[in-house]
Amino acid sequence: MDAAERRREIAAAVWRVIRRDGVQGASVRAVAREAGTSMGALRHWFATQDELLHFAMTLVIEHARARVAAVVAGATPDARLVLRVLEETLPLDDGRRAEAEVWLALTARALTAPTLAALRDRSAEDLLALCRWVLTVLADAGDLRPGSDPSLEAERLYAVLDGLAVHAVTRPSALPVGRVRQVLAAHLDDLRDTR
């Protein structure tokens, strides 16, 4: 049996439970039931509940990272690519919405769960680095508006991303997918001097 695959299956069950009942509903028993297995079997793959949540969070991060890498791979870095890359981090379809919901739930949990916090910090660092990379791409293309502070702009772009993610996840009807893309595109236009 493929151990990694088995763990991913169980993590998927964790996602489903979290989306349905929140983190507080993701008890060992509930996850085992959702995964169609027994408590004993589940604990063979994850010794503690913390491990379970930690891996579920890891998977969110991995998915996003893989999507970003797939878009970047072999493409020429320009303003159009940059938009597509950033869109991969936003909840623009069901799959990404699922991830974003789990991300929000576990991010909140991380406020009082040290091991989750460490994971969240690393992923935040990655996302901020992505934003910095975006700025350098625009700068290299001569597209960046003169006089702007790249470090500050990276922070602002990161805030826009996570702000949009939170709003799209919490109030999807008030902020439909198309609107999210508009806002992101507008922000990127703003970073360039295309006005």
Query: Cα-atom radius of gyration of the chain, to the nearest Å?
Result: 19
Question: Which of a copy of itself, DNA, none does residue 27 bind to, with CB < 5 to 8 Å depending on kind?
Answer: DNA
The one among 163, 172, 176, 194 contacting a copy of itself by CB under 8 A: 163
Q: What is the DSSP letter of 92?
A: -
Helix axes 94-109, 114-140, angle to 10 degrees: 130
**Residue closer to a copy of itself (CB basis): 73 or 111:** 111
At closest approach, how far in Å is the CB of 116 from DNA?
A: 14
Please tell me whether residue 96 binds a copy of itself under the rule CB under 8 A.
Answer: no
Distances (CA, A) of 50 to 9, 26, 43, 137, 169: 17, 11, 12, 39, 24
Q: Within 13 A of 20's CA, how many CA atoms are on the CB side? A: 12
Q: How many distinct helices (H) and strands (E) make up the chain? A: 9, 0
Per CB under 7 A, contacts with DNA among 17-36 are 25-30
Binding residues (CB under 8 A) for a copy of itself: these are 19-25, 101, 104-105, 107-113, 120-121, 124-125, 128, 145, 147, 149, 152-153, 155-156, 158-164, 166-167, 169-171, 174-175, 179, 182-183, 186-187, 190, 195
